[in-house]
Structure 1
Amino acid sequence: MGHSQADKAATRARVLRITSRKIRAEGVTRPAIADLMKEAGLTHGGFYKHFTSRDDLIAQAAAVALTEGSAKLERAARGNERSARDGLIDAYLARRHRDRPATGCALVTLGAAAGRGDERLRQAYEKQVRAYLELIEGPDGDGRDAGAEAMLTLAALVGAVLMARAVADEDLSDELLETVARRLRQPASEAS
C-alpha cells in the first residue's frame, strides 16, 4: 500500500472510530457529516473520498461500534473465574458501562435504529446478537434450554442498561442494574 493509500486508510479508520462513538452516545440520526468530519480534522468535501453516502458511513460505523464495544465485554466475560455468563453480567450491568455509552456496547443504543435501518445495519446488529448468545451459552451449551437461557439473559442485559440510562432517578437506575444482575445470577430453580 502506498503512502497516500495508507494515509487514506488511516483517515477512514479515524472517521469510523469517531462516528462509532458518536452513534453509541447520540444515536444514528444526530451526528451531522460536517461535525464528524470537523472532529476528524477534515473538511466536509473530503467525506466523499471515503464514503458513498451518510447511510454508508452510518452502516460501517455501526459495525465498528458493535464490534468495538463487545470486545471489552468479551474480555470481561472470558476473564471471569465462575463463567463467561457471570462475567458478562458483571461487566454489562456495571455503572461504568451505563455511564459511558460512547464506549459501551452498541446493542443498547442501536437496537431501535437497526430495526428501522437498512439491511447492512440489521446484519451487523444480528451478527453481534449471535456472538453474544454464543458467548453466554458457552462451548458446552446443552441445546434448547441453554439457547433460551442465553436469549433471556441477553434481553435482560440490554433492556436493563437501556432503562437505567433512560430514567432520571439515579437511585432507580442503580436499582435496575443491581436487581437484574442479582436475578440473572440466581439459579433457575431459585428464581421461581
Structure 2
Amino acid sequence: MGHSQAAKAESRERVLRIAARRIREEGLTRPGVAELMNEAGLTHGGFYKHFASRDDLMNQAAALALADGESKMADAAHRNREEPRTGLIDSYLSARHRDTPGTGCAVVTLGASAGRGEAEMKEAYEKQVRGYLELISETAGGDDSDEVQADAMLTLSAMVGALLMSRAVADPELSDQLLQTVAARLKRTPVKA
C-alpha cells in the first residue's frame, strides 16, 4: 500500500473510531458529518473519499462500536477466573461503565436506533446480542441447554436495562441503586449449567 493509500486508510479509521465513540455518547442522529470530520482533523469536503454517505458512516461506526463491546465483555469475564460471570456482571454494572458511555456498550445506546434501522444495522446489533449471549452462557460452563440460554437472555436483558436506566435517571442514588441491586440479584441467581 502506497503512502497516500496508507494515509487515507488511517484517516478513514480515525473518522470511524470518532464516530463510534460519538454515537455511543449521543446516538445515531446527533453527530454531524462536518463535526466528525473536524474532530478527526479533516475537511468536510474529504468525507466522500472515505464513505458513500452519512448513513454508510453511521452503519460502519455502529458495527465497530458494537464489536468493541464484545471484546470488553470477554475481558471482564476472564478477569475473575474463579467466577467469570461475577466478573462480567461487576464490570458491566459498574459506575465506571455507566459514566463512560463513549467507550461503553453500544447495545445500550443503539437499541432503539437498531430497532428502527435498516437490515444492516439490525444484523450488526443481532450479531453482538448473540455474541453476548454466547459469552454469558460460556460463563456457566458452555452448556447450550434451553435453561442456560434462557438465563443468559435474562442476564443480558437485566444488565442492559439496568445500565440504560442508571444513565437516564436524574437521581444519583437511584442510579447507583439500579446498578447495585440488579448486580446483586444476578449474582445471587447464577446461570445453571
Normalization by structure 1: what TM-score? Answer: 0.95
Aligned positions of 1:30-179 closer than 5 A: 30-138=30-138, 139-179=141-181
Cα distance between partner residues in 2 of 1:168 and 1:111: 21
Cα distance between partner residues in 2 of 1:188 and 1:71: 22
Q: How many residues align?
A: 189
The one-letter code of the counterpart of 1:63 is A
Cα distance between partner residues in 2 of 1:170 and 1:100: 15
Shift in CA distance, 188/47, structure 1 to aligned 2, threshold 3 Å: closer
Shift in CA distance, 41/90, structure 1 to aligned 2, threshold 3 Å: same
TM-superposed deviation, 1:87: 1.6
Deviations 1:3-53 (A, max 9, x none): 111111100000000000000000000000000000001111100000001
The one-letter code of the counterpart of 1:98 is R
Shift in CA distance, 142/121, structure 1 to aligned 2, threshold 3 Å: closer
Retained in 2: the 8 A contact 1:51–1:57? Answer: yes
Cα distance between partner residues in 2 of 1:148 and 1:155: 11
Cα distance between partner residues in 2 of 1:41 and 1:110: 26
Retained in 1: the 8 A contact 2:70–2:131? Answer: no
Cα distance between partner residues in 2 of 1:164 and 1:157: 10
Retained in 2: the 8 A contact 1:164–1:173? Answer: yes
SS in 2 for 1:41: coil
* Bigger mean CA deviation after superposition, 80-89 or 33-42: 80-89
TM-superposed deviation, 1:188: 6.1
Q: Give the root-mean-square deviation of aligned CA atoms.
A: 1.3
Q: Percent identity?
A: 63
Are 1:17 and 2:17 matched, yes or no?
yes
Partner of 1:8: 8
The one-letter code of the counterpart of 2:122 is R
User: Which aligned segments of 4 or more residues in structure 1 are displaced greater than 4 angstroms?
Assistant: none
* Bigger mean CA deviation after superposition, 113-122 or 176-185: 113-122
Are 1:28 and 2:28 matched, yes or no?
yes
Cα distance between partner residues in 1 of 2:190 and 2:160: 20
Retained in 2: the 8 A contact 1:59–1:121? Answer: yes
The one-letter code of the counterpart of 1:176 is L
Cα distance between partner residues in 1 of 2:106 and 2:120: 15
TM-superposed deviation, 1:80: 1.3
Unmatched segments (≥5 aa) in structure 2: none
Deviations 1:54-88 (A, max 9, x none): 10000000011111133222101122123332221
